[in-house]
Structure 1
Amino acid sequence: MTEQQAIAYYHSLPRLSGAPTLDRMRALLAALGNPEQQFRAVHIAGTNGKGTVASLTASILQAAGYRTGLTISPFVLEFRERFQINGEMIPPQELAALTEEIRAAADTLAEPPVEFEAVTALAFLWFARQKCDIAVVEVGLGGRFDATNVLPPPLVAAVACIGLDHTELLGDTLAAIAAEKAGIVKPGSIVVCYPDQPKEALQELIVAAGAAGCELVVPDKEDLRLLKGRPLENRIDYGGYQAALNFPGVHQAYNATMAVEIALALWRKGLEISDEAIDKGLAAARLPARIEVVGRDPLVVLDGCHNPDGMKALAAALTAENLPRFTAVLGMLADKNAAESLAAIAPCVRRAYTVAPDSPRALSAEQLAELANPHIPDVTPCASLQQALDLARADGAPLLICGSLYLAAQARPYFVK
């Protein structure tokens, strides 16, 4: 089996299958020897920011000397990003070899796994085989019935910012969505929460932590200081921990406070994590397409935000810098709240070029342009990303590319070699 054949196998599996259940995942892992029981874990759920929190946390653990696994969902640039140990992606040959084992185990089951279950099983199998000290595991969707939730009680269960997304699956209120995400809370864990969580969501997390007998930690925003730097440079001081983050925006500073509190919780659990490792890990962490500055002259900002809360956070970060309005290249999926997302980012945009991201679920450029027209004065649908970028760069204005991680994956190679 080759790397491409392995990836094709995962993509051939169904995305969803009937009523939510963990039974298929448990059966698959049992057939593989229960690799999920062979490493300690930090488990991270949330609507927005969980990838950033996961990357920051893994970076701190690596700086502290631990062999650290990391799962990221979804990937931005290539499939192997999903699986990392100490910042290195799974090698192609190991991806292929372990996938053969996954497929053989899946073939013994009464019901085949869905794609994310098989992908998660691969991550757990690789982490176990590589003898990771600890893994930072990002939830795929929700929490309670997410494939990652077969983990034994994690040392820390963290819940990043909760918003309205995937409402058809998780519920149409913040309380309902929070209750699903709180499903990762288990007795014995320390729970760390986003410091600016909506009240309805926070209440559900308080209830879940109390029911499980878990300590709940909410970072104190009063302990966070934002320090002066270049535009979209995020220098922070949180309780004496200082770093220049590679993630712009106040919301990313809040995500960093979560990573600090996770590290301190792990220290209370017995892990050796120095203050220097926390500072070093915060500064070293990187994740593509999270308000990523990929050009400075002119300014080019790339972001994979794809729902209203993500767009609001992006708009707040840009507005706080008093930057001129951007020319934007926009692309979104049809199953996202495009109208509200466009309304959120519109105050930062002077002109927009719309494209269809590389996904079967994409809105067409024309459909997105129609939705954008009430909010953005000058909107042009484009036949390709190349055309949109050529037109946008000809403006000479700061450039913003956002609306979808699929779009970010397509656009990033134009700017980052």
Structure 2
Amino acid sequence: MEPNSQRSYLQSYPNAEGYFGRFGGNHYPPELRPALEELASSYQELHQTPEFQDALNKARVGLQGRPTPIHYLENLSNQVGGAQIFIKREDLNHTGAHKINHCVGFALLAKKMGKKKLIAETGAGQHGVALATAAAYFGLECEVHMGEVDVAKQSSNVGRMQLLGARVISATTGQSALKEASDSAFNAYVEQHEHALYAIGSAIGPHPFPMIVRDFQAVVGREAREQFRSITNGSMPDHVVACVAGGSNAMGMYSGFIEDPGVVLHAVEPLGISDELGQHAATLSYGSPGTLHGARSVMLQKDDGMPARVSSVASGLAYPGVGPEIAMLHETGRLSIAAISDEEAISTFFRMTKSEGIIPALESAHALAFAIQLASQRPSSERILVNLSGRGDKDVDFVLEKYGTGTSPALS
């Protein structure tokens, strides 16, 4: 990973064919190539124009509520000892997560391209809610595909999408989870691409989707870098931590620090129930190169090359692959990886709630759990910045039903 010295990292990757090193590209059906080429061309032509940026910034401020702040977790840091823990409050975005960062971008892009509809997949429902919100704001139709299991688990988010005018389609094949929702949404896009735009939910899929999602999410890293330096008198964080499945929240945060070799970037994966295949979704830890949803990347796969079953208490992390850019950063050694179990994530969910008054999304609880472990091993002079990618309102009913209020010593 050696970008041209005269170009920034974000300008250097991906290359013209959509590759991040040996990962990425466009492995979509040939009949969709023209639609993807149209998307790439329109994005390059429009996204840096003053008109587009003005409309995007208007939505960022007025609809989303940006900028989101950085907050020092003083109570947790004092409890743990060692390094100090800070969080980037993406949970304070309108709709409750980072997902709206790229959803408003895709909606604006669709509007400028003359498309009438947005299509997408969702896992925990945060992307679906964000896309339905952006579609309503820009006057577009919206169709969200969601695994049947997640429809039941995240019923409040299903209701929110429907209130916002979206049509929610339940994916009932396979595990009926995020991978199947993605399959269903991709198929819908194949049929409707002439009048609809696929607003992918993470930094995955064929070129130009990983690039577009990263660029729209880069607002997180830009803000975080400036804010952190402001509150620490010009210092940089020693560690930047994000949970990883597809990679949208991670690439958004990493983008602000990726060219700083002194900042260690940590990718935290879901270890689920165990390290046995089918019992986790820790792709970087246990996966191998393969092709999934139109891109060459790293994936969890069975002996026949088909995607393996996955498991995670966090619906948004239950995906058998990672984005191609994440795969490249891991292969080149720029990312340090860790895996957090369901039990550790749930314990941290309760600890964060009771110690800091912040209810984190179960996805974000994985990143926080690792940050706490890391802080206990590092000196007090070091600082850890975590992307708190979403709030846990969507998870409250599930957690209360399965784990109670966290008063058990094992979960507190």
Q: TM-score, normalised by structure 2?
A: 0.31
Higher relative contact order (CA 8 A, sep 6+): 2
Q: TM-score, normalised by structure 1?
A: 0.30
